[in-house]
């Protein structure tokens, strides 16, 4: 009997040791690899099996053993770990890792922000897109003037019409892409994806003015053309409604708008500090409102010349009522002076000639 008691005691001791050892082993296996909290970026591809996830975690040295990890998720009947990009660390236990993978992630390390400033033209937009994404400069400009694409947009957006397809338009989408910062999913996004985001934003900006626009004496294309001139000619945001009033007064009077910024656009001169020549001022173009031969009297340019802000759009739709026909800005102080007479305008222009370096 003593022998049997000794055997039984031995079995109990052995089982106790096994249980304690197993518990210790289990606790060790699910514990963090180390105290290192350095972030490790991990991608779990779509449709990854539990075996694939275990292999990835092992390769990143986040778990001690693949088979034990598989045993763990099977024991707790875990089958809802999600694909995605995760920030993990070696200081996380197996339970913590699994909990994070079950919650899922919206992280995308390939996302990037792309910013378009107010007052830039399509060539500048193409430069920004080509520098930030895999799209080439030429591909961007080609898409901006693709008649097939433009016709699809005309069907989709209420504020677009056949005006963007006119002969003589440099880029059909000039002035229709709203300037802002946009988040892209990756560098491989195509040009249409970017343009569509910018057009969606423009639609949201224009929507509150839709009824006014539909009753307005000018078309939406003409409003955006005028807004683009206001954008380029205004020294400050506060000046925009008064600049708009000058342009409207000149249009109503059958005058030439006489805007240098349209000449620069017509000549494709992006450096605003570059002096214009007499030949350039007289360049025959449906964009050039500086023509003195009368062909542009009472006319807007054929289309917008740059991206436009909400405040410039509002100024074009709701200008203040003035008797001003001229304006000039001090480029150093950004103060704009408005005049009813040419004599007063010319006097101020002469006064500011040195300050404005001839402009």
pLDDT in tens, 271-288: 877 888 999 999 999 999
Confidence of residue 8 (pLDDT cuts 50, 70, 90): low
pTM of the model: 0.79
Confidence of residue 12 (pLDDT cuts 50, 70, 90): low
C-alpha span between 318 and 343 (Å, rounded): 28
pLDDT at 22 over 80: no
Helices (H), the chain: 2-30, 50-59, 66-75, 94-103, 122-132, 137-144, 147-156, 191-206, 210-215, 220-233, 240-252, 260-266, 278-281, 310-317, 342-352
CB atoms within 10 A of CB 23: 10
C-alpha span between 79 and 121 (Å, rounded): 52
Mean pLDDT of the 2-25 span: 61
Both tokens of 317, joined, read 């739709």
Mean pLDDT of the 54-79 span: 94
Confidence of residue 4 (pLDDT cuts 50, 70, 90): low
How far lies 216's CA from each of 213, 317, 322, in Å?
5, 8, 19
Confidence of residue 14 (pLDDT cuts 50, 70, 90): low
Which of the listed ranges 28-32, 216-220, 327-331 does the model predict with the highest average pLDDT?
216-220
C-alpha span between 75 and 19 (Å, rounded): 17
Contacts 24+ apart (CB under 8 A), 275-283: 275/358, 275/359
Start-end of CATH 3.30.1490.480 domains in the chain: 31-109
Q: Can you tell me which residue has the tokens 């390939």?
A: 110
Homologous superfamily of 31-109 in CATH? Endolytic murein transglycosylase (3.30.1490.480)
Q: Do residues 174 and 163 make contact, with C-beta atoms less than 8 angstroms apart?
A: no
């Amino acid at each position: 009997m003593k022998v049997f008691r000794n055997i039984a005691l031995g079995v109990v001791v052995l089982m106790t040791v096994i249980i304690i050892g197993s518990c210790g082993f289990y606790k060790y296996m699910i514990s963090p690899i180390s105290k290192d909290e350095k972030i490790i970026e991990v991608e779990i591809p779509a449709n990854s099996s539990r075996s694939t996830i275990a292999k990835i975690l092992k390769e990143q040295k986040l778990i001690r053993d693949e088979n034990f990890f598989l045993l763990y998720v099977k024991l707790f009947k875990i089958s809802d770990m999600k694909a995605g990009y995760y920030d993990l660390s070696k200081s996380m236990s197996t339970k913590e890792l699994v909990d994070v993978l079950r919650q899922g992630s919206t992280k995308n390390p390939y996302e990037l922000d792309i910013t378009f400033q107010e007052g830039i033209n399509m060539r500048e937009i193409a430069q920004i897109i080509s520098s930030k994404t895999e799209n080439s400069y030429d591909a961007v400009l080609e898409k901006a003037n693709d008649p097939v694409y433009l016709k699809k947009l005309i069907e989709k957006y209420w504020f677009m019409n056949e005006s963007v397809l006119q002969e003589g338009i440099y880029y059909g989408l000039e002035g229709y892409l709203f300037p802002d910062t946009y988040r892209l999913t990756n560098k491989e996004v195509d040009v249409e994806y970017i343009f569509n985001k910018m057009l969606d934003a423009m639609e949201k900006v224009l929507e509150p003015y839709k009824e006014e626009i539909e009753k307005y004496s000018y078309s939406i294309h003409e409003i955006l053309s005028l807004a683009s001139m206001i954008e380029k000619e205004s020294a400050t945001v506060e000046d925009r409604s008064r600049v708009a009033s000058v342009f409207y007064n000149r249009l109503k009077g059958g005058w030439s708008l006489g805007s240098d910024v349209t000449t620069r656009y017509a000549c494709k001169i992006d450096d605003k500090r570059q002096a214009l020549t007499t030949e350039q001022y007289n360049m025959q173009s449906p964009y050039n409102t500086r023509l003195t031969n009368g062909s542009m009297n009472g006319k807007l340019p054929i289309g917008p010349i740059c991206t436009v802000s909400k405040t410039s759009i509002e100024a074009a739709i709701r200008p203040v009522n003035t008797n001003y026909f001229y304006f000039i800005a001090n480029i150093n102080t950004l103060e704009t002076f408005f005049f009813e007479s040419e004599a007063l305008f010319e006097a101020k222009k002469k006064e500011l000639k040195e300050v404005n370096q001839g402009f």
